Structure 1
Amino acid sequence: MTVITGHVRTFYQLLLNTGLVSVINFTVWFAVTFWTYLQTKSVFATGLISGIFLVLTAFTGIWFGSLVDNHRKKTVLQGSAVASLVFYGSALAVYLVVPEAAFRDPADARLWAFVLLLMSGVIAGNIRTIALPTLVTLLIDEDRRDRANGLVGTVSGTTFLVTSVISGVLVAFDGMLSVLLLALVVLGLSVLHLVFVPIPEMVSPHESGATSGIDVRGTLRIIAGVPGLFALILFSTLNNFLGGVFMALADAYGLSLVSVQAWGLLWGVLSTGMIIGGIAVSRTGLGKRPLRLLLLINMVLWAIIMIFPLWASIIPMAIGMYLYMLLMPYAEAAEQTILQRVVPYERQGRVFGLAQSVEQAASPLTAFLISPITQFIFIPFMSDGGAGAAAIGSWFGTGADRGIALVFVLTGVLGILATAIALASRPYRALSARVASAEPEPAPA
């Protein structure tokens, strides 16, 4: 069994609780994306949903981080679940009273009111995403935190596995009704379970004299005081800018190759890669150079995105995505471990939140832009009669799916170039030295 030390029992209970809530939140997100595409047949609409998620994530990250730092962790976790309950309950009411025909029109305001309520419920769950790495610092001994971060990756993989299987099945069964009923039940149970989980916070942030409020300036000073940390956040921002392309178009591309049920089940199989990758991190750790590992993994991930679309088949996509999922826990655990090592505990919520906001701020732009660009430029470019189809169609293929594939290939090339530049940069060397020399951040009393 994986060896981690600290308040292990509490950590496992919180990990399980957060995992179940993440399952339901991602199920809602995946389901509304599948359902909207099936209702409207619009790539633009599915891309817009991704854009809504990323915009809300970008604008709420710093605020959520301040909530995590300035309140007891149990209060924050329970408040997150209650907020999601309210949004999903309101969405269920809209779903029951609005005529079904309104949901088939991508221009109907009632469709987007429904989507916004659902996505707001999903976003409320992001508080847990920010709180969880701070709980690792709180509950787990420093020399085992990278392994605990690996367990977080395992839970994330399990979340995607369960989500991918049930979201497609539930949507195929009765649209969004079962999804919403399940969400209300699971979130209610989550709030009840947390009542009985003790979190050993001996001193609240306000009692300890820690600076309260959002305090962006103070958070920026903390980041600026760590050589190369701004550069890491900017690199992650660029990664997310390019990654927003994949996020916005992956469902449309996959659904152009297989049915919604097959796509959902495939994601379930692919998600076992995250489980295996997370277990591997929890067993072996990340080594002494987590930053270098992070960048090398990014190089491989971009190569995968560049290579698998070269064939118009679900098989290379499935193989590439499995490798992608296998490596993702290493990248996520590495970034979390770096921040846990160099940022004081009382600021970690705000730093994680600020990093989330800045990194995700690029993705909304990509998600909003790339869907119409793909729909109106790249798809015609690669369709019969298009210049791209005439130039490379003989070996690359033609049609709407090949237009999306071309976007993926170009994105992968840009990602590889950006990562190579980062590896050769001075901020990379400075942050590597800082991480190597960092004093362990003790679990707070």
Structure 2
Amino acid sequence: MNRRGGIRTFLTIWLGQIVSVTGSGMTRFALLIWAYDQTQTATSVALLGFAAFFFFVLLSPFAGVLVDRWDRRVVMLAADGVAGIGTALILLLFAGGALQFWHVFVYEAITGAMEAFQLPAFASIISVLTPAARRGRINGLRTLGYSVTRILAPALGALVLGAADLRAVLLIDLATFAAAYGTLLWVRVPPPAHSAAGQHGRGSVIGELRAGLRYLRTHRGLLYLILLFTGINFIASLTYMSIMPTMILARTGGDEATLATVQGMIGLSALVGAVGVTLLIGRGRLIRWIVVGGVLSFIFGDLLMGMSQALAGWLAAAFVTEFFVPFIFNAQRTILQNKVPPDLQGRVFALDGALRDLIVPFGYLIAGPLADRVFEPAMARDGALAGALGGLWGTGPGAGMGVMYLFTAVLGASLCTLAWVIPSIRNVETDIPDYQEEAAGMPAAPSQPSGIKASSAAPSAP
């Protein structure tokens, strides 16, 4: 397949996935509302998120091995298939008046587990369909699609729930699965060429997983790049991912409209950033986008978010922070796609995703106690830090959480700067040559049946 035809194939898959993920997002939103209505507890809603997250992280390393072993298009077909079957079962249970919370929990667990297959399969398809010079912008399109679905899915889900009920949302979701399935059946994706690194440990799941780890250990620039993003996610989980809603509610006396407006700006900014990626990411060294974007996001975004005490400041902070995120993550993904042999990419992307997601709960666990027991008391009107920081951060409810952003701003900017100081990260684009399939010295792997039925897995972000 020529590269122009490969880009057309990618765009066909991408459009189908946007439609499918929008439907899946509508269902997840509607099921969260249903679960809360049934149980009236926040714990039940949190458990649904935990179910998807836990099984995604648990299976990701092994799923990456199987993605490299199987036909990746068939893996994606399987992913959409199982998600569609799960949605159909939830629809039947709801229509029969038999739907219970544990059914939804199992559905979320299966969906999360199958996303462990879908995400690395889609990411690794890009490198066999597109030329290296276009991958930054292609990844930008992928992020753009995800940003659109993140904005549309909750809004459409709420609209349909208001006009009808959960049954209508599920029927729409099934229709979107059909669209994604049709596009995947229509296209053909060439298999990746065999590489010497990709063949290590062949035949054993554990052996092939070790081959992926061995590749990263011998290409330390890529390993450190993955660990850098694990650190970025951890720092972000201490504030932005965890306490941001609580801080805004505390500082506004529980004004939910203000919080919703800030969250809407986060989605809009991610969308604008994704458009910027498609236009700009091919210019200059990718590692510079990571370092500069990370420093600007942490310094200006975190500081402004923590110091602000009104909507205008929070909106500006949300825009600055989220605008750079697509640049940062797409640059990293493009570097991995350019450097890692395609028949190893399933394992590398799966390990990258698992590490980044695995660290997040630890940030959540630390953030709450730090806010409640350390920073909030310290920024009370007579607190230990009120005299020194109260002039800029204010005092009282929410001020302590605002000060936490000062620390994440410094930590995050320092970590991104350190990436430029470490030669193996700074020079990762020049020290590690781009992978060239024609130079692999081995024939392309034959396209094989996947070994799983074409009805197993779950939707991914586009």
The residue number in structure 2 matching 1:195 is: 185
Residues 310, 396 of structure 1: 8 Å contact kept = yes
Which whole-Å CA distance do the structure 2 matches of 1:264 and 1:176 have between them?
23
Which whole-Å CA distance do the structure 1 matches of 2:259 and 2:11 have between them?
31
Is 1:421 matched with 2:418? yes
For residue 183 of structure 1, what is the amino acid of its counterpart?
D
Structure 1 stretches lacking a partner, 5+ long: 101-109
List per-residue Cα deviations over 1:355-404 (Å, max 9, x = no partner).
Answer: 11122221122234434654566556656786667875675345654454
2:282 to 286, 301, 306: 286
How has the CA–CA distance of structure 1 residues 204 and 400 changed in structure 2, closer, same or farther, with 3 Å as cutoff? farther
Equivalent residue runs for 1:292-311 within 5 Å: 292-303=288-299, 304-311=301-308
How has the CA–CA distance of structure 1 residues 202 and 407 changed in structure 2, closer, same or farther, with 3 Å as cutoff? closer
1:151 deviation in Å? 1.5
The residue number in structure 2 matching 1:131 is: 121
List per-residue Cα deviations over 1:103-146 (Å, max 9, x = no partner).
Answer: xxxxxxx7577456335425533533222221111111222222
Residues 156, 274 of structure 1: 8 Å contact kept = no
List per-residue Cα deviations over 1:66-123 (Å, max 9, x = no partner).
Answer: 23212212211111112223444555677789999xxxxxxxxx75774563354255
Equivalent residue runs for 1:341-420 within 5 Å: 341-371=338-368, 374=371, 396-397=393-394, 400-420=397-417
Which SS does the other structure have where 2:188 is aligned? coil
Which whole-Å CA distance do the structure 1 matches of 2:95 and 2:256 have between them?
23
For residue 222 of structure 1, what is the amino acid of its counterpart?
Y
1:333 deviation in Å? 1.6
Which SS does the other structure have where 1:247 is aligned? coil
Which whole-Å CA distance do the structure 1 matches of 2:246 and 2:411 have between them?
22
Which whole-Å CA distance do the structure 2 matches of 1:113 and 1:253 have between them?
34
The residue number in structure 1 matching 2:273 is: 277
Is 1:118 matched with 2:108? yes
Q: Number of matched residues? A: 430
Which SS does the other structure have where 2:293 is aligned? helix
Which whole-Å CA distance do the structure 2 matches of 1:230 and 1:379 have between them?
37
Equivalent residue runs for 1:18-417 within 5 Å: 18-29=17-28, 53-89=52-88, 114-115=104-105, 117-118=107-108, 120-122=110-112, 124-167=114-157, 169=159, 179-201=169-191, 211-212=202-203, 213=205, 215-245=208-238, 246-253=240-247, 267-268=263-264, 270-303=266-299, 304-371=301-368, 374=371, 396-397=393-394, 400-417=397-414
1:348 deviation in Å? 0.6
For residue 339 of structure 1, what is the amino acid of its counterpart?
L
Which whole-Å CA distance do the structure 2 matches of 1:87 and 1:407 have between them?
41
1:440 deviation in Å? 4.2
Residues 150, 333 of structure 1: 8 Å contact kept = yes
How has the CA–CA distance of structure 1 residues 138 and 43 changed in structure 2, closer, same or farther, with 3 Å as cutoff? same
The residue number in structure 2 matching 1:106 is: none
TM-score (norm 1): 0.79
Residues 9, 188 of structure 2: 8 Å contact kept = yes
Which SS does the other structure have where 2:241 is aligned? helix
Residues 231, 428 of structure 1: 8 Å contact kept = yes
Which SS does the other structure have where 1:85 is aligned? helix
Residues 306, 404 of structure 2: 8 Å contact kept = no
RMSD: 4.1
Residues 57, 357 of structure 2: 8 Å contact kept = yes
Which SS does the other structure have where 1:352 is aligned? helix
Give the stretch that moved more between structures: 343-352 or 136-145. 136-145
How has the CA–CA distance of structure 1 residues 194 and 166 changed in structure 2, closer, same or farther, with 3 Å as cutoff? same
Structure 2 stretches lacking a partner, 5+ long: 445-462
List per-residue Cα deviations over 1:228-275 (Å, max 9, x = no partner).
Answer: 222111111111112223223345556666876775676455434333
Residues 168, 264 of structure 1: 8 Å contact kept = no
For residue 136 of structure 2, what is the amino acid of its counterpart?
D
Which whole-Å CA distance do the structure 2 matches of 1:150 and 1:80 have between them?
23
The residue number in structure 2 matching 1:7 is: 6
Give the stretch that moved more between structures: 326-335 or 260-269. 260-269
1:334 deviation in Å? 0.6
1:331 deviation in Å? 1.2
1:147 deviation in Å? 1.9
Give the stretch that moved more between structures: 168-177 or 358-367. 168-177
Which SS does the other structure have where 2:186 is aligned? coil
Which whole-Å CA distance do the structure 2 matches of 1:382 and 1:114 have between them?
41
1:29 deviation in Å? 4.8
Residues 307, 409 of structure 1: 8 Å contact kept = no
1:152 deviation in Å? 1.4
Residues 384, 399 of structure 1: 8 Å contact kept = yes
How has the CA–CA distance of structure 1 residues 202 and 312 changed in structure 2, closer, same or farther, with 3 Å as cutoff? closer
How has the CA–CA distance of structure 1 residues 96 and 269 changed in structure 2, closer, same or farther, with 3 Å as cutoff? farther
For residue 295 of structure 1, what is the amino acid of its counterpart?
V
Which SS does the other structure have where 1:130 is aligned? helix
Which SS does the other structure have where 1:7 is aligned? helix
Give the stretch that moved more between structures: 17-26 or 39-48. 39-48
Residues 227, 434 of structure 1: 8 Å contact kept = no
Percentage of pairs with the same residue = 21
